[in-house]
Structures are given as structure tokens and as C-alpha cells.
Structure 1
Amino acid sequence: MQPSRDISRLIEIMAALRNPVGGCPWDLEQDFSSIRHYTIEEAYEVADAIERADFADLREELGDLLLQPIYHAQMASELGQFDIGDVIYGITEKLIRRHPHVFGDMDASSSNAAKGRWEAIKAEERAAKAARKGETTPSILDDVPNVLPALARAEKLTKRAAKVGFDWPDFQAVQAKVEEELAEVAEAQASGNAAAVHEEIGDLLFAVANLARHAGIDAEAALRDANYKFTRRFHHVEARCREDSIEPGEAGLERLDRYWNEVRAADKA
């Protein structure tokens, strides 16, 4: 078996790994549930390579991600459900159907017009999917995946609801809602009711995700960037502790805060 640029070789390798005769014992033990977290992890690693603009890593991570649908399709094929050809046919059919302005005779002179047609087709698809399941009244929130990161899902849910007019009128109204939710967190905390604090902090985070959407900001990306910034700044704090020959846990808040403010000031310079 030799590497190849042809995707059929990857399919052959996956089939060999899953072959009960001579296959890989680890791969043979896996099922859809046991490898699903790898699918999610690989997608995040692709996103990380993109954010770092590391094209060598991106090439490798895209390969790791590509393996995931091949793996799942191989297991489905073994169960007689579908194979990778069915997967490829399905996505090509969907792309052609959702782009009649490219592959048909419909005109879409702008990106907004193309997006509008895309959304209309997706609504038709949701209705058809609901009909197949025996549901006569599909929800506009259908097919927003439960496994999305919570902030990303909150943003998507509010975006869907906004399509039918269920939305705050402007940024200022959402900002007021955030302030209201923050006050309710404080009230719940003062009551000593842990369940209420849990609920109110959830409401606050949901309102913040909505605020980000109204500002045109990707809440999930904004939080990732904030995590990165905190990590970078805290690394500076640790480095300054090493320079002063003191352990971070023994430095005290005043000293740690001074180091933190150094890097904050440098960021703003």
C-alpha cells in the first residue's frame, strides 16, 4: 500500500484498517460513539491552524479531518446503511440544489440575493425533513445542533428566531437586557440559591451571545480571542515571577497584578 493523491486510496486504507482479517485491532474496536469526539477535535484543530495562518499545519489537519467522514462512512457501510459514495452524492446534490443561480436558470445578482435563496431552500428542506419524521409543524429552530459550543448555539438560535421577527429592536435594547440579567445574577447570588445562580448566569451568557450577534461579532470567536489574550498575558506574569525568582503561588495578588498591568499597558501602547 502506497500513499496517493487520489481519495480512493484513503478509502482503501480505511477499509483495510477495519478488515476483520489483518486489520488494526484498535480501529476494529471503534464505533460511531467512540470516535465522534475525534471528529469535533479535528475540526477545532483545523480552525486553530487557520487562525495561526500555519498552512503546513492546515494541510495536515485537513487530512486528519478528511479521515473522519471516511471512517464513519466505512462503519456505516459495514452495517449496510450507506457508503462514502452516498455521502458524496448527497452533498453534491445539495450544493447543486441550493445554488440554482449557478447551476440553474435563476438569477442572483448579489450575495444577499444568493443568501436569501439559500435560506428559502433550507426552509423547504427543514419542512421536508419534518414531513419524513411525521412532524406537520417543523420548528425554525430544527437542525440547530445540540452539540455546538454553547455560545455558538445561542447565537444561532437567536439568529433563527430573528428571522420571524422575534428579536430585540437594536443593540441598546439587548445591552439593557444584559444589564438586567447581570442584576439578576447578583440578586440570585445574594439569596444563596446555587440553582438560581446557575440559571441566571446561563441567562446572562445567552444575552451576551445575543449582544454579540447584534454587534456583528462572532461570540465564540471573541471568547476564543479573549482566552488567547489571557493566556499570553498570564505567560508574561509567570515569566516575570521567574525573573524575580519567586513562585507565582507565593508572589501575592499585588505583585501578580503589577506584572499583569505591565503587559496590559504594553498591549495598549
Structure 2
Amino acid sequence: MNSREENLKAMDRLLTIMDELREQCPWDRKQTLESLRHLTIEEVYELGDAILDSDLEEVKKELGDVLLHIVFYAKIGSETSAFDIGDIANAICDKLIARHPHIYGDVKVADEEDVKRNWENLKLKEGKKSVLEGVPRSLPALVKANRIQDKVAGVGFDWEEPSQVWEKLQEELREFYEEVKRGDSDKMEAEFGDVLFSMINYARFLKINPENALERTNKKFINRFRYLEEKAAASQRALRDMSLEEMDVYWNEAKEFFR
């Protein structure tokens, strides 16, 4: 591992390269905060994929891409004297110190839940009007629901036992099924949303990350379906020409390989 001195030298090297690219490269010179936004989101998703794949070499590379974007934003900000990399680092340092009075002050905490409650209460004292202000509007709905529930739980708005959440989920399922029987598509959608929200809440109580769980199932399905396609191709048949019974044979084989 690198020493602190070597790490600081590497960061200085990156900052120097960013200066040079911004001055000399036509593409880098043209970029703005807005033009980089969608690329940054893409890089974060790629980092997420690498983490889920437990590919540490790829995690290192994707972290580098994300770090480059942070340095890029800092460089753009410095050009109008809005902020620079030092301002960014100092701002997060100040926030971390302020949000951890149990480390940098005299507040006592018993466990992780105490820390989370203190975190949300401190944000309200800093001037936030709602604990939900910190939930980005553009988050995917599944992730957003999980963050909403986590944040309101931090100020005590939560169920007491997992069994209560399970009962609520059963209630939402019954309400959804009633609307399915009535056939009102708008009400079905609304009730289905309630079911999903309750499922995510139940997962939170069971310490399951719903995003990770769903992505795990997505990958499992993709692997099994690709196996099915490969087997069909090997037998020189198109899937559209196979019966469900025939496809099911290969699907059951795939389940043995991809669990």
C-alpha cells in the first residue's frame, strides 16, 4: 500500500494532469458541469456493477473514473472562483466533524442506530426543513423508496417490529388484488406502488438491500436465459420455434448452474 506522502503525490499528479487536459484538449476544454452530469451518473453505475461483481480490480478502475469526475468538477468550479478541490475537501471535512459529535465532541451513543438518529437531527438543526430534503429527486424509484424509509426511521417514524411490516404488506397485497378484480388500471398502479413500497420497507427491517437483491435476481435471470439461448443455438433452433415445454428443459438445467 502507498504511504500518505505517496497518496498526496498521486493526487497532485492527477490535479496537474487535469489542468493540462483542460488547457490543451479540445474535448476536455469544452465540458461543463451540465455536460458531465450524465457521464458521472454512468460512471457511478459502472462502479456499482463492479462492486456487485466483487471485482476489486475493476472497482479500483471505476473509482478512478469517479475521482476524475470530482477533480473535473473542481477544476470547472475554480475557473469562476466558485469552488476548488480544497473547498470541496474542507467542506466535507467540516460536515463530518459536525455530524460526528460522538467522536469530535462529548455526545455519547450506544450503537449505529443512535448515530443515524443524531445525523438526521443535526441536519434539521443546520436549517433543513425536512429530513427528506437530502433524497435526490432523480434517484431511481426503488433506491429512492429505500432512502425515504431509512431517513424517516432516523427520526423515529417507523414500525416497531418486522411482524407489523409483514402485516402491512399483506394488507397492501389484498388491496391491490381487489383493484385487479375491479380492473381499474389507474388504481391498480397506485396499489401496486403501495405493495412495492411495503416490500422495500420489509426488506429494510430484514437488513436486505432491495436494490442489491433485485439486481442479483436480474443477473441470475440473464445468465439462465443466455444459457437457454446457447442451448437452442447449439441444437440449431430458434427460441421462437420452441414450445414452452422444450424451453423449460433447458431452463431447469440453467437453474443448476446459476442459483
TM surpasses 0.5: yes
**Counterpart residue number, 1:170:** 161
> Deviation per CA, 1:52-94, whole angstroms, max 9, x where unpaired?
2323222211110101111112222223311111001112222
The question of whether the paired residues in 1 share the 8 Å contact of 2:123 and 2:131 is answered with: no
**Counterpart residue number, 1:135:** none
Looking at structure 2, the residues matched to 62 and 194 of structure 1 have their Cα atoms a distance apart, in angstroms, of 43
Matching residue within 186, 197, 207 for 1:195 = 186
> Deviation per CA, 1:112-150, whole angstroms, max 9, x where unpaired?
1x66246424422333133xxxxxxx2222212223332
Looking at structure 1, the residues matched to 242 and 207 of structure 2 have their Cα atoms a distance apart, in angstroms, of 41
SS in 2 for 1:227: helix
Number of residue pairs matched? 252
SS in 2 for 1:264: helix
Against the structure 1 CA distance between its residues 115 and 164, is the aligned structure 2 distance closer, same or farther, given a 3 Å change threshold? closer
User: Once superposed, what is the RMSD of the aligned Cα atoms?
Assistant: 2.6
Against the structure 1 CA distance between its residues 36 and 164, is the aligned structure 2 distance closer, same or farther, given a 3 Å change threshold? same
Matching residue within 215, 235, 258 for 1:244 = 235
Structure 1 alignment gaps of length 5 or more: 131-137
Against the structure 1 CA distance between its residues 12 and 267, is the aligned structure 2 distance closer, same or farther, given a 3 Å change threshold? closer
Against the structure 1 CA distance between its residues 194 and 157, is the aligned structure 2 distance closer, same or farther, given a 3 Å change threshold? same
Query: Aligned ranges for residues 102-141 of structure 1 at < 5 Å?
Result: 102=103, 104=104, 106=106, 112=111, 116-117=114-115, 119-130=117-128, 138-141=129-132
**Counterpart residue number, 2:140:** 149
The question of whether the paired residues in 1 share the 8 Å contact of 2:135 and 2:147 is answered with: yes
Looking at structure 2, the residues matched to 48 and 87 of structure 1 have their Cα atoms a distance apart, in angstroms, of 27
Looking at structure 2, the residues matched to 57 and 122 of structure 1 have their Cα atoms a distance apart, in angstroms, of 33
SS in 1 for 2:126: helix
TM-score computed with the length of structure 2 as normaliser: 0.84
The question of whether the paired residues in 2 share the 8 Å contact of 1:45 and 1:61 is answered with: yes
Against the structure 1 CA distance between its residues 105 and 158, is the aligned structure 2 distance closer, same or farther, given a 3 Å change threshold? closer
Looking at structure 2, the residues matched to 7 and 109 of structure 1 have their Cα atoms a distance apart, in angstroms, of 35
In terms of mean alpha carbon deviation, does 222-231 or 149-158 score higher? 149-158
In terms of mean alpha carbon deviation, does 207-216 or 196-205 score higher? 196-205
**Counterpart residue number, 1:42:** 43
Structure 2 alignment gaps of length 5 or more: 1-7
Q: Percent same amino acid among aligned pairs?
A: 37
